[in-house]
Chain A
């Protein structure tokens, strides 16, 4: 199987799953009165970004997933500035890409120390959430021609405080994801493309269908 096409299919399927969760599950969590931004980043974004890195060990893949998820997010009518949310998702993926790049000589599957795994979860979850939120807080007002730097500075303590919950979620999600990645979930070649294409297609159909129905 051509490896580049295989990576591309993986980017599409993981990015679509992430985008699907942001578009369909995120608003449900928000409507239920829970902090959807923190929960979405802590559980879904971190899980999909980490598991894809663990499975494929391919540099640049997480950024590609962010582009796919961000594109899908653009079709979701929830949240006002769709472009801003889309770019924030790409920013989150980019930040985790940088963290993984820093650890490029590290096989994450082989991490033995629980402290390191938990630490990796805390740092990556917090950085991804803070980065994505700050990007949103800049881009959204900018897109309405209403960006004032003092508003951003005043929001920083709240953003840093909200990130604590995400960091604690990340402390559990990353070690669990590393353990899950040890299961041999490889698909046979003849099943790989139909499965990835099917899941990707289903995610896009549901999100776009949801957009058209609302």
Chain B
């Protein structure tokens, strides 16, 4: 190995570790800064508790490529949150870490809101890849198309 490469690999490794540690600190520092609790979610700028939503809506079950998922119908929840023209918007599903995915009504209306096995709020969609199944969900932002 040339001397240059031998020297540069450990230096690059240190840079990589520094970036990874800094990113970890940043992500953890930015988590849980929402004013809502774990059992609440902001939908269209209004705060709802999952328990209250559970009293209003009945669970439905959808079939995904990861088996059956049972939860509250997103279609009804969105309409309940005073979105007047559901088809006229795009919906940003935001996690607290702060991962987010943007989904259109045609897919949103097929999804369910529920708790996953780690007791985090999560959405599932039967026709979308797992990338869109946002967990640690804290907000559904509604934006005009």
Contact = CB atoms under 8 A, between A and B. Distances in A.
Interface centre among A103, A126, A127 (most CB of B within 10 A): A126
B20 A164 contact: yes
A60 interface: no
B17 A167 contact: yes
| B interface secondary structure, majority | helix
B99 interface: yes
A105 B2 contact: yes
A137 B23 contact: no
Contacts of A84: 129
A144 interface: yes
B126 to A, nearest CB: 10
A77 B67 CA distance: 11
Interface centre among B12, B97, B104 (most CB of A within 10 A): B12
Contact of A164 (B12, B14, B21, B128): B21
B35 interface: no
B100 interface: yes
A106 interface: yes
A164 B107 CA distance: 34
A113 interface: yes
B23 A164 contact: yes
Nearest to A84: B129
Interface string B94-118: 0001111111100100000000011
A160 interface: yes
B23 A160 contact: yes
Given A84-B129, A151-B100, A154-B99, A116 B26 contact: no
A80 B5 contact: no
Contact of B99 (A119, A123, A155): A155
Contacts of B132: 141, 144, 146
B9 A123 contact: yes
A155 to B, nearest CB: 5
Contacts of B128: 80, 144
B39 interface: no
A61 to B, nearest CB: 20
B131 interface: yes
Interface string B124-143: 00001111100000000000
Contacts of A167: 13, 16-17, 20
Given A123-B16, A144-B132, A155-B99, 18 more contacts: A80-B65, A80-B129, A106-B2, A113-B6, A119-B10, A120-B13, A123-B9, A140-B129, A140-B131, A141-B101, A141-B102, A146-B102, A151-B102, A160-B19, A164-B17, A164-B23, A167-B16, A167-B17
What 6 A-B pairs have minimum CB-CB distances, sorted nearest first? A80-B129, A164-B20, A160-B23, A119-B13, A122-B13, A161-B23
7 contacts: A79-B130, A123-B12, A137-B131, A141-B101, A144-B128, A144-B132, A167-B17
Interface of A: 33, 77-81, 84, 102-103, 105-106, 110-111, 113, 115-116, 118-120, 122-123, 126-127, 136-137, 140-141, 143-144, 146, 148, 151, 154-155, 157-158, 160-161, 163-164, 167, 171
